Chains A and B, each alone.
Chain A
């Protein structure tokens, strides 16, 4: 569904993303892991077209540069790391913004747009919050609003940038479960930058480890998450063990 070929992002001459080639198929969840500053957000920005870059990004086989801004936004929905949530904006008005790429420049929303928006609110279990201002919601509820907006975009690709970093463990799980369900029911291609390695291993089909702007290892969680690779990229001392149901668990070790 999305493919990148030799994508390079430079800031003041320094390459934050240095020749990344990666693909995500429809219905597939690829987890992007790596240390802070490895270029994960820049890569996501290049794919969504908000960061200037060299190299090729293909969306459903077509180069993204051939698509207009709006067409690209109909194909790719982004959940940013620190979304801007205008405090007094009502949830419904905020989620309706997801319909923007489907509307002409000066057009107003139709009943169909409202129906899509309500369906997104329903799917995320926040329909009862529709008329509440964003500022009155809890962290988990806000995160759902951002996801709902991305869903209302009805794009086949979902880019998530550390979608759960601000949440506690229970809400993290909830949000990731929601994404997992949505990916299944809507066959979304999901590319998610994730900090928590254990959760990344559990939810993603495939992991790509990014260090200094390059993808160094890509594959199943068991291949990527070994004690030596984790120590190499993060300097962390960890044990990688198998959980009760065979899943990979990364446990920090104290010195």
Chain B
């Protein structure tokens, strides 16, 4: 009897995905146009740990490439990937809809409009950009929620998705309008929208970290309650849970995380769908296992995607959103096919 194993976290798989994330981070730091010895990179990072002082043998320029360019970018990718993926899993859980993701509900479009207005008004470097993105994201969720329950009908998964599509279309139109009216910032806005991971040192990481931390921590803590919601609102109530309270907390956390991710890295698509569903095929449908796996898996996925984005056509870069869809789509199909075959 293996009852124990299904309740506990899938420790083996978690360490496996954690290992993949570590390898991805190391690869992201080592691979690039400037060749650096892996051992030297190791020592250089090691040197930055508190109380550690070793000589990596890298000169100042090489050390800066490791410490100011590659490492912050990899860490940002991990934070954004983890956040988008776990937000996707959270939305799928609270809305009980496998198609829910941060973008389908209009959250990212709202964040996009907010960020575009901020870029047009005060420039892309301003701290107002993530704040505006967050406000836009929250307004989008509120609008989707309101529309989804308008008309006195029940707020089913389908009406919510439809409402999200409408809200996203409207906000994207508004965003395009603002963008076209301000030709002087169109390049900044475009670069932002296509999704990119910043190369401006630790600033973006510092910007993103609190959003990522709050949303990941809150969603991880709610993972058992996401399972309770899986039996529907009425039954959740008979189990002593207030579904509205869980949904509000999780939606706020996921919205906050998505807003931060979009503000820091633009609209990187597909992560919130492909990662949770791949994880689901590996560990089953319990969010007790899905949520922590998705955090690590999303981080690893985006770090690897960014590695492809900047090396595949080196020296030019492919927008990372293109890579996530281009690589993630077929990968997802393969996973889906093999797992279906395995189940039969």
Residues of A within 8 A of B (CB): 48-50, 68-74, 76-78, 80, 83-90, 92-94, 96-98, 100-101, 103, 105-109, 114, 118, 121, 127-128, 130-131, 133, 153
User: Which residues of chain A come closer than 8 Å to B288, judged between CB atoms?
Assistant: 93, 108
Known pairs A92-B6, A93-B284 / 10 extra A-B pairs, C-beta < 8 Å: A49-B238, A50-B237, A83-B231, A86-B285, A93-B6, A94-B231, A100-B228, A100-B240, A127-B3, A128-B1
User: What are 18 A-B interface contacts by the 8 Å CB criterion?
Assistant: A50-B238, A69-B241, A69-B242, A73-B240, A80-B234, A84-B231, A86-B285, A88-B284, A90-B284, A90-B285, A97-B231, A101-B239, A101-B240, A106-B221, A106-B225, A109-B7, A114-B3, A127-B1
Q: How distant is the Cα of A89 from the Cα of B286 in the complex, in angstroms?
A: 6
Q: How distant is the Cα of A83 from the Cα of B285 in the complex, in angstroms?
A: 17
Task: Answer yes or no: B227 CB below 8 A from chain A CBs.
Answer: yes
Partner pick for B241 among A84, A92, A100, CB 8 A cutoff: A100
| Residue of B with least CB distance to A107 | B224
B1-36 at interface with A (beta carbon < 8 Å): 1-7
Most buried by A among B7, B225, B288: B7
User: Which residues of chain B come closer than 8 Å to A118, judged between CB atoms?
Assistant: 3
Chain B 205-232 near chain A by CB (<8 Å), digits 1 or 0: 0000000000000000110110110111
Q: Contact at B6–A78, with CB atoms within 8 Å?
A: no
Most buried by B among A80, A96, A133: A96
Q: Contact at B7–A96, with CB atoms within 8 Å?
A: yes
| Residue of A with least CB distance to B280 | A88
| Residue of A with least CB distance to B239 | A100
Task: Answer yes or no: B235 CB below 8 A from chain A CBs.
Answer: yes
Known A-B contacts A97-B231, A108-B224, A130-B1; the reply to A90 vs B6 at CB < 8 A is: yes
Interface size on B, residues (CB 8 A): 29
Q: How distant is the Cα of A49 from the Cα of B240 in the complex, in angstroms?
A: 10
Q: Contact at B285–A88, with CB atoms within 8 Å?
A: yes
Residues of B within 8 A of A (CB): 1-7, 221-222, 224-225, 227-228, 230-232, 234-235, 237-242, 280, 284-286, 288
* B252 CB, nearest partner CB in chain A, Å: 15
User: Which residues of chain B come closer than 8 Å to A103, judged between CB atoms?
Assistant: 224
* A86 CB, nearest partner CB in chain B, Å: 5
* A178 CB, nearest partner CB in chain B, Å: 20
Q: Contact at B7–A89, with CB atoms within 8 Å?
A: no
Partner pick for B235 among A70, A78, A106, CB 8 A cutoff: A78
| Residue of B with least CB distance to A70 | B240
Q: How distant is the Cα of A139 from the Cα of B281 in the complex, in angstroms?
A: 24
Q: Contact at A131–B2, with CB atoms within 8 Å?
A: yes
Q: How distant is the Cα of A85 from the Cα of B6 in the complex, in angstroms?
A: 18
Partner pick for A130 among B6, B228, B286, CB 8 A cutoff: B6
User: Which residues of chain B come closer than 8 Å to A50, judged between CB atoms?
Assistant: 234, 237-238
Known A-B contacts A89-B286, A109-B224; the reply to A97 vs B239 at CB < 8 A is: yes
| Residue of A with least CB distance to B221 | A106
User: Which residues of chain A come closer than 8 Å to B238, judged between CB atoms?
Assistant: 48-50, 73, 76-78, 80
Q: How distant is the Cα of A107 from the Cα of B223 in the complex, in angstroms?
A: 10
User: Which residues of chain B come closer than 8 Å to A84, judged between CB atoms?
Assistant: 230-232, 235
The 9 A-B pairs of least Cβ separation, nearest first, read A73-B240, A101-B240, A88-B285, A70-B240, A84-B232, A100-B239, A78-B238, A93-B286, A86-B230
* A81 CB, nearest partner CB in chain B, Å: 11
Known A-B contacts A49-B237, A133-B284; the reply to A89 vs B227 at CB < 8 A is: yes
Q: How distant is the Cα of A83 from the Cα of B238 in the complex, in angstroms?
A: 12
User: Which residues of chain A come closer than 8 Å to B284, judged between CB atoms?
Assistant: 88-90, 93, 133
Q: How distant is the Cα of A86 from the Cα of B92 in the complex, in angstroms?
A: 13
Q: Contact at A106–B4, with CB atoms within 8 Å?
A: no
Known A-B contacts A69-B237, A101-B240; the reply to A114 vs B7 at CB < 8 A is: yes
Q: How distant is the Cα of A108 from the Cα of B2 in the complex, in angstroms?
A: 19
| Residue of A with least CB distance to B241 | A100
Q: Contact at A92–B285, with CB atoms within 8 Å?
A: no
